[in-house]
Amino acid sequence: MNALDWLKIDAVNHYGYDKVSFEERIKFFDTGFDVSKADDPIQCYAAMEAYKEAIKGKSIGWGVTLDSTASGMQIMAALVHDEKAAYLTNITSDDRMDAYTYLYQGMENKPSNITRKDMKDAIMTSLYGSVNVPKKVFGEHTNRFFEYMSKAIPDVWMAGKCLESLWDSSAIAHSWTMPDGFEVYKPIEKRITKQFQFRNEYFEYYKYEQGSKKIGKSIGPDVIHSIDSLIVRELHRRCNYSHETVHKNLHVINGGSCSYTRKDIKTAEKLKKLYDETGFLSYAILEVMNKHTLAMFGEKTIAKMLKDMPIKAFPILAIHDSFKVHPNYANDLREQYKQIIHQLLDSNLFQYFVRQITGTDIVIGINRTITKEQANCYYAIC
């Protein structure tokens, strides 16, 4: 797709016709539609105006938006190589899959009043251990829903249960370090009931204080959201890079010298340790490149990282798992996202998180069945 195609796709996405192939979306745009009927008419209209300006040859500042498809399930599928979930979240599919519609239609004997939106709410929350939301949707049929999910996306379902089981009733916080050195610290908060007196009458109020809880289910979503944020940071490092940093790395690879500090060395050593433990090499390493760093990772590794970056740098406006870029760079964004998914597939991150949270050397066996060739990620963000 070229930049004009991406403007068409963006307008159609805001219209709400985003569960079909790119080619069908472009055809839908060319056929014509009523913008006032769009799911997001303002964004749709703005994209249409940007397209009109672009075909006149004028410069535009409009960014097209690409969202990851079922991002939580997609990340979990990559971590544990769930072939069914990887297909449903467009890691391995050639067609544009909609995981929530597929799972909604695939569940037999569900109550007739349940909508796709209801099913989506139940799926999203159940992957993070929720029982209340699925119960609200399915009522007495909740166990049937859980059984269905355990068969439809078995490895992702088990991964969610595994993370949920890591809860430490004596802990007041959970923490771990991401592959790029980012420190995650999540305090555990419990609700405390307090009272105050006013004119001889007592009133209750609630406040949250840090402390241990017997039962909690936040580890799963916290881990997945920390990977969400890692993806955002890595995309920025890959796409909105500094030319000065690239030139410095090329200079070092070619045998040149550069100034560096002891802090740079320590950062590089930390990133190397994290790479060894997680199998995920962060582009943060390019920011502290020198002859010692090059020796740690090898010339070929750093050279490949530079080669895999877009030819031209560009900014990204990211909101969680939604990424807005100028239409000239939509293809580059998709390629970089694909490379990060490949890194997740090759990584040991799931076992790493389990070890970090539990403080043990527990071994998690993952059957790595998804290859990079299979993971085309064509609609992973679309």
pLDDT per position as a tens digit, 314-326? 999 999 999 999 9
Which pLDDT tens digit goes with each residue over 187-215? 998 888 888 888 888 888 888 889 888 88
Instruction: Work out the percent of the chain whose per-residue pLDDT is above 90.
Output: 85
Query: Residue 194: what pLDDT?
Result: 86
The verdict on 287 and 187 lying in the same domain is no
The verdict on 231 and 317 lying in the same domain is yes
The verdict on 184 and 294 lying in the same domain is no
Contact 331, 5 (CB under 8 A): no
What range does the domain containing 232 cover? 219-358
Residue 20 phi, psi dihedral angles, 5° rounding: -120, 175
Mean pLDDT (the chain) is 95
Residue 353 lies in a domain: yes
pLDDT at position 34 over 90: yes
CA 271 – CA 174 distance, rounded (Å):
21
Query: Residue 122: what pLDDT?
Result: 96
Which residue, of 183, 210, 237, is where some domain finishes? 210
Q: What is the 3-state secondary structure (H, E, C) of the chain?
A: CCHHHHHHHHHHHHHCCCCCCHHHHHHHHHHCCCHHHCCCHHHHHHHHHHHHHHHCCCCCCCCEEEEECCHHHHHHHHHHCCHHHHHHCCCCCCCCCCHHHHHHHHCCCCCCCCCHHHHHHHHHHHCCCCCHHHHHHHHHHHHHHHHHHHHHCHHHHHHHHHHHCCCCCCCCEEEEECCCCCEEEEECEEEEEEEEEECCEEEEEEEEEECCCCCCCCHHHHHHHHHHHHHHHHHHHHHCCCHHHHHHHHHHHCCCCCCCCHHHHHHHHHHHHHHHHHCCCCHHHHHHCCHHHHHHHCHHHHHHHHHHCCCCCCCCEEECCEEEECHHHHHHHHHHHHHHHHHHHHCCHHHHHHHHHHCCCCCCCCCCCCCCCCCCCCCCEC
Which pLDDT tens digit goes with each residue over 157-196? 999 999 999 999 999 999 999 999 999 999 998 888 888 8
In angstroms, how far is the first alpha carbon of the chain from the final one?
A: 12
Residue 240 lies in a domain: yes
Total count of domains within the chain: 3
The verdict on 225 and 348 lying in the same domain is yes
The verdict on 231 and 310 lying in the same domain is yes
The verdict on 224 and 351 lying in the same domain is yes
pLDDT at position 33 over 90: yes
pLDDT at position 145 over 90: yes
Query: Residue 2: what pLDDT?
Result: 97
pLDDT at position 334 over 90: yes
pLDDT at position 227 over 90: yes
Query: Residue 215: what pLDDT?
Result: 87
User: What is the mean predicted confidence (pLDDT) over 82-111?
Assistant: 96
Q: Is 9 exposed, middle or buried (0-12, 13-18, 19+ CB in 10 A)?
A: buried
The verdict on 231 and 202 lying in the same domain is no
The verdict on 235 and 346 lying in the same domain is yes
Contacts of the segment 104-107: beta carbons below 8 A, 24+ positions apart:
106/148, 106/152, 107/145, 107/148, 107/152
Which residue, of 30, 62, 94, is where some domain finishes? 62
The verdict on 192 and 262 lying in the same domain is no
Which pLDDT tens digit goes with each residue over 335-349? 999 999 999 999 999
Quickly state the pLDDT bin for 149 (edges 50, 70, 90): very high
pLDDT at position 258 over 90: no
Residue 288 lies in a domain: yes
The verdict on 240 and 299 lying in the same domain is yes
The verdict on 342 and 281 lying in the same domain is yes
Residue 305 lies in a domain: yes
More reliable by pLDDT, 191 or 46:
46
User: What is the mean predicted confidence (pLDDT) over 127-142?
Assistant: 94
The verdict on 245 and 308 lying in the same domain is yes
Residue 372 lies in a domain: no
What is the Rg, in whole angstroms, of the alpha carbon atoms belonging to the chain? 24
Residue 230 phi, psi dihedral angles, 5° rounding: -60, -45
CA 21 – CA 382 distance, rounded (Å):
9
Query: What is the sign of the dihedral through the CA atoms of 337, 343, 344 and 350?
Result: negative
User: What is the mean predicted confidence (pLDDT) over 281-296?
Assistant: 93
User: What is the mean predicted confidence (pLDDT) over 216-242?
Assistant: 96
User: What is the mean predicted confidence (pLDDT) over 131-146?
Assistant: 95
Query: Residue 130: what pLDDT?
Result: 93
Which residue, of 185, 210, 235, is where some domain finishes? 210
Query: Residue 181: what pLDDT?
Result: 97
Query: Residue 208: what pLDDT?
Result: 86
CA 247 – CA 157 distance, rounded (Å):
45
For residue 352, CA distances in Å to 5, 59, 66, 125, 235 come to 41, 46, 29, 23, 22
Query: Residue 16: what pLDDT?
Result: 96
Residue 309 lies in a domain: yes
User: What is the mean predicted confidence (pLDDT) over 226-243?
Assistant: 97
Contact 249, 287 (CB under 8 A): no
Residue 120 lies in a domain: no
pLDDT at position 52 over 90: yes
Quickly state the pLDDT bin for 236 (edges 50, 70, 90): very high
Which pLDDT tens digit goes with each residue over 4-24? 999 999 999 999 999 999 999
User: What is the mean predicted confidence (pLDDT) over 114-124?
Assistant: 96
The neighbour count for residue 65, using CB atoms within 10 Å, is 20
Is the pTM higher than 0.85? Answer: yes
Which residues does 27 contact at the CB level (< 8 Å), separation at least 6? none
Residue 11 lies in a domain: yes
pLDDT at position 224 over 90: yes
User: What is the mean predicted confidence (pLDDT) over 59-64?
Assistant: 96
Q: Which residues on neighbouring strands pair with residue 342, listed in sequence order?
A: none
Contact 227, 321 (CB under 8 A): no
